[in-house]
């Protein structure tokens, strides 16, 4: 192949390449425009979107405004008011300084800027389409700026086809506005989607007040303050006590110098602080502010400046960890492994009751035969002790009628001829709930039994949870949740599925909504995500005490399902150890 000549790209191509780095989706546009408004000293910011921002995005503020003569510079690359020389880069205190965002946005959309500075009697308007100027003229406006972005990616169809549904893009924009609004409680934020208000946050006088508006009353009531300082680095914020956790990190907000960031290091510091006091797979609600000297943090690791590099990683990690442990007294809490339910009988009394049951019901039918008379068990033998899929009806019946005992309040143990069977109570209940829910939704039968609540529960939702609830309300009803909107960001729940074991005054439903928010679930079509989340959060948990009739009922229902040997996530519901397995372990053969 012949050598090709090196050429300098034209301006349009350069701008579109830059857009690919900075502008990934409508939410990226909203983030850049809001940050410009903050840098302009705005006290009110109103975001309006149509069809998830794919048709139009408008961001209106009351900031300093742009003089008419400077409007053309708004769309020039590397034109900025934030820095003067290269030496300023490491000390920059504003959100942006490179001057790429507006040029990038305008290169892949039809963009109109209308603005007036305080020093001018009349404002100005400038319209750019695909990077080319179409109009520039005087325009009336109060002080501040409005930026209208229409037909995003109209001239880059390959980029446009990768956008998600309008509902998913709307959710991403809501998350962006929520995160920034959390860091700036003193500013009023509004978000309108397709003429409907999504957020209307009045300026708040404190972080707790803004958190209550965004995350709801129940979450805010479980938060405590924490703070610490060392060597010019300060950390502080709000974090939930171990009694209030979420199934994911969607309600963890991390800010460095008030800039929303993603940092695996800081997320790990949070997880380490809570490691011994909350169950695996659960996460605290945390709003964390880290103040670092500007020369000690590099904000240019990522074009969108959402990822950062810290110079003193070990110091920051230790400071966050100790601030959370001290602020919430996590050091003094009993480790999770030592926690017992205060309303439950002691383990000794439970074991004694189970032993009495075994003495009364144990017969030779279930005693282990000698090695010469081993009969095929309920399942085929497998070298790794996992369960093969074959079973005989008589042997299933044998398992269902066998005595049971609970091991560490997590596993149900029983014996059949020729084998010891250990059943995972959580995985098994997951399979049961999943199959019941799947049948109810697919058949449209709404056949899941509902338990009407004696006192309806009022839940305050976050903006993302509100959207998820609206998109999946029909399916949630099919699962047995009788709930409806109750004004603002709240819903009222009057009934729940009878089979769930972890309602916890609404935490179950909040967990499900959090899961779906994180997976960008955007429609009420068939949803394995919804079913799996419902089954996982509604199932009996490890560490939950079961009576013998409850264990018997669980086994009966498990083997009435079509796939009794695994949970919806593919984990086994039970394993077996044959007599041969045990004899090998004890050196008998």
**Residue extent(s) of CATH 3.30.230.10 domains in the chain:** 207-336
Q: Say what the pLDDT of residue 148 is.
A: 97
| Over residues 354-360, mean pLDDT | 44
For residue 564, pLDDT beyond 80: yes
Q: Say what the pLDDT of residue 365 is.
A: 33
For residue 454, pLDDT beyond 80: yes
Poorest-confidence range of 73-82, 136-145, 416-425?
73-82
Q: Say what the pLDDT of residue 378 is.
A: 28
Phi-psi region of 23 (alpha: psi -120 to 50; beta: other; left: phi over 0): beta
**Phi and psi angles of residue 507, each rounded to the nearest 5 degrees, phi first:** -60, -35
Give Cβ neighbours of residue 344 (< 8 Å, ≥ 6 apart): 545
% of the chain surpassing 90 pLDDT: 41
For residue 191, pLDDT beyond 90: yes
pLDDT-derived band of residue 273, with 50, 70 and 90 as boundaries? Answer: very high
Sheet holding 574-578, edge to edge: 405-407, 411-416, 419-424, 574-578
Between β-strands 252-256 and 286-291, what pairing exists: parallel, antiparallel or unpaired?
Answer: parallel
Joined together, the tokens standing for residue 566 give 């695994």
pLDDT-derived band of residue 349, with 50, 70 and 90 as boundaries? Answer: very low
Q: Say what the pLDDT of residue 568 is.
A: 86
Q: Say what the pLDDT of residue 589 is.
A: 78
| Over residues 317-335, mean pLDDT | 85
Residue pLDDT, tens place only, 543-560: 889 988 899 899 989 988
| Over residues 237-262, mean pLDDT | 91
For residue 84, pLDDT beyond 90: no
For residue 392, pLDDT beyond 80: no
Q: Say what the pLDDT of residue 361 is.
A: 39
Q: Say what the pLDDT of residue 313 is.
A: 83
Residue pLDDT, tens place only, 113-125: 999 998 899 999 9
Residue pLDDT, tens place only, 414-435: 888 788 899 999 999 999 998 8
Residue 267 is given by DSSP the state: H
Q: In whole angstroms, what is the distance from residue 546 CA to residue 217 CA?
A: 33
Q: Say what the pLDDT of residue 358 is.
A: 40
Residue with tokens 């990683």: 313
For residue 174, pLDDT beyond 60: yes
pLDDT-derived band of residue 199, with 50, 70 and 90 as boundaries? Answer: very high
For residue 446, pLDDT beyond 70: no
Poorest-confidence range of 22-26, 99-103, 347-351?
347-351
Architecture of domain 11-201: 2-Layer Sandwich (3.30)
CB 402 within 8 A of CB 391: no
Three-state secondary structure readout of 535-565:
HHHHCCCCCCCCCHHHHHHHHHHHCCCCCCC
Residue pLDDT, tens place only, 528-545: 778 888 888 889 988 889
pLDDT, averaged across the chain: 81
pLDDT-derived band of residue 479, with 50, 70 and 90 as boundaries? Answer: confident
For residue 376, pLDDT beyond 60: no
Does the CA dihedral 497-499-502-505 come out positive or negative?
positive
**Residue extent(s) of CATH 3.30.565.10 domains in the chain:** 11-201
Higher pLDDT, 244 or 307: 244
| Over residues 330-345, mean pLDDT | 50
Q: Say what the pLDDT of residue 341 is.
A: 37
Q: In whole angstroms, what is the distance from residue 36 CA to residue 24 CA?
A: 18
Instruction: Supply the CATH classification number for the domain 207-336.
Output: 3.30.230.10
pLDDT-derived band of residue 217, with 50, 70 and 90 as boundaries? Answer: confident
Q: Say what the pLDDT of residue 304 is.
A: 54
Higher pLDDT, 276 or 235: 235
Give Cβ neighbours of residue 58 (< 8 Å, ≥ 6 apart): 46, 47, 48, 49, 146, 147, 148, 149
Q: Say what the pLDDT of residue 188 is.
A: 97
Element (H, E) at 491: strand 490-497
For residue 77, pLDDT beyond 90: no
pLDDT-derived band of residue 448, with 50, 70 and 90 as boundaries? Answer: confident
Highest mean pLDDT, choosing among 23-32, 364-373, 465-474? 23-32
| Over residues 345-349, mean pLDDT | 43
Q: Say what the pLDDT of residue 363 is.
A: 34
Q: Which residues pair with 414 in a beta bridge?
A: 421
Of the candidates 517, 520, 495, which has an alpha carbon nearest to the alpha carbon of residue 506?
A: 495
Q: Say what the pLDDT of residue 397 is.
A: 58
Between β-strands 44-50 and 286-291, what pairing exists: parallel, antiparallel or unpaired?
Answer: unpaired
**SS3 state at 272:** helix
For residue 403, pLDDT beyond 90: no
Q: Say what the pLDDT of residue 350 is.
A: 41
% of the chain surpassing 70 pLDDT: 76
For residue 66, pLDDT beyond 90: yes
Does the CA dihedral 323-325-327-331 come out positive or negative?
negative
Residue with tokens 């009349």: 122
For residue 346, pLDDT beyond 60: no
- DSSP per position, 372-387: GG----SS---TTSPP
| Over residues 302-314, mean pLDDT | 68
CATH 3.30.1540.20 fits domain 344-589: yes
Poorest-confidence range of 64-68, 169-173, 175-179, 437-441?
437-441
| Over residues 252-261, mean pLDDT | 93
Residues 214-218: contacts with CB within 8 Å, 24+ apart?
214/178, 214/181, 214/182, 214/462, 214/463, 215/251, 215/285, 215/460, 215/462, 216/459, 216/460, 216/461, 216/462, 216/489, 216/490, 217/460, 218/244, 218/459, 218/460, 218/506, 218/510
For residue 360, pLDDT beyond 50: no
pLDDT-derived band of residue 78, with 50, 70 and 90 as boundaries? Answer: low
CB 87 within 8 A of CB 179: no
């Amino acid at each position: 192949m012949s050598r090709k000549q090196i050429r300098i790209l034209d301006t349009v191509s350069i701008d579109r390449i830059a857009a690919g780095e900075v502008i990934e989706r409508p939410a990226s546009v909203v983030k850049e425009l809001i940050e410009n408004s903050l840098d302009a000293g705005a006290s009110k910011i109103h975001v309006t979107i149509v069809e998830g921002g794919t048709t139009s995005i408008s961001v209106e503020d009351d900031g300093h405004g742009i003089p008419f003569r400077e409007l053309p510079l708004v769309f020039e690359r590397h034109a900025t008011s934030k820095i003067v020389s290269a030496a300023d880069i490491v000390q920059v205190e504003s959100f942006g300084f490179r001057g790429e965002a507006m040029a990038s946005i305008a290169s892949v959309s039809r963009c109109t800027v209308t603005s007036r500075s305080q020093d001018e009697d009349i404002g100005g308007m400038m319209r750019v389409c695909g990077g080319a100027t179409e109009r520039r003229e005087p325009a009336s406006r109060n002080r501040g700026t409005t930026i209208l972005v229409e037909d995003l990616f109209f001239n880059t169809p390959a980029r446009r086809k990768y956008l998600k549904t309008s509902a998913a893009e709307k959710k991403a924009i809501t998350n962006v506005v929520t995160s920034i609004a959390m860091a700036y409680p003193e500013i009023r934020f509004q978000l309108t989607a397709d003429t409907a208000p999504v957020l209307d946050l009045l300026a708040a006088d404190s972080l707790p007040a803004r958190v209550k508006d965004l995350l709801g009353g129940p979450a805010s009531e479980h938060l405590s303050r924490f703070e610490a300082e060392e060597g010019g680095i300060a950390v502080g914020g709000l974090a939930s006590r171990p009694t209030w956790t979420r199934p994911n990190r969607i309600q963890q907000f991390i800010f460095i110098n008030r800039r929303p960031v993603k940092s695996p290091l800081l997320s790990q510091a949070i997880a380490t602080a809570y490691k011994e006091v909350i169950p695996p797979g659960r996460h605290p609600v945390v709003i964390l502010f880290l103040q670092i000297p500007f020369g000690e943090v590099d904000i240019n690791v990522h074009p969108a400046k959402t990822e950062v590099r810290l110079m003193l990683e070990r110091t920051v990690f230790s400071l966050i960890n100790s601030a959370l442990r001290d602020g919430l007294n996590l050091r003094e809490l009993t480790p999770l492994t030592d926690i017992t339910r205060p309303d439950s009988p002691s383990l000794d009394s439970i074991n004694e009751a189970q032993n009495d049951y075994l003495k009364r019901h144990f017969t030779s039918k279930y005693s282990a035969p000698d090695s010469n008379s081993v009969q095929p068990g309920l399942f085929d033998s497998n070298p790794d002790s996992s369960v093969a899929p074959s079973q005989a009806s008589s042997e299933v019946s044998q398992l269902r009628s066998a005595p049971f005992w609970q091991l560490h309040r997590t596993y149900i143990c029983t014996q059949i001829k020729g084998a010891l069977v250990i059943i995972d109570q959580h995985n098994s209940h997951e399979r049961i709930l999943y199959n019941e829910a799947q049948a109810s939704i697919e058949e449209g039968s709404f056949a899941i039994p509902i338990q009407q609540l004696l006192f309806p529960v009022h839940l305050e939702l976050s903006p993302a949870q509100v959207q998820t609830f609206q998109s999946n309300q029909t399916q949630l009803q099919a699962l047995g949740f009788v709930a409806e909107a109750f004004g603002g960001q709240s819903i009222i729940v009057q009934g729940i599925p009878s089979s769930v074991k972890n309602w916890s005054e609404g935490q179950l439903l909040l967990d499900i909504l959090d899961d779906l928010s994180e997976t960008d679930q955007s429609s009420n079509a068939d949803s394995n995500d919804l079913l799996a989340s419902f089954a996982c959060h509604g199932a009996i948990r490890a560490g939950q005490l079961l009576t013998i009739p409850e264990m018997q009922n669980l086994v009966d229902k498990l083997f009435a399902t079509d796939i009794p040997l695994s949970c919806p996530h593919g984990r086994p519901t039970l394993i077996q150890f044959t007599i041969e397995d045990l004899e090998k372990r004890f050196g008998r053969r």
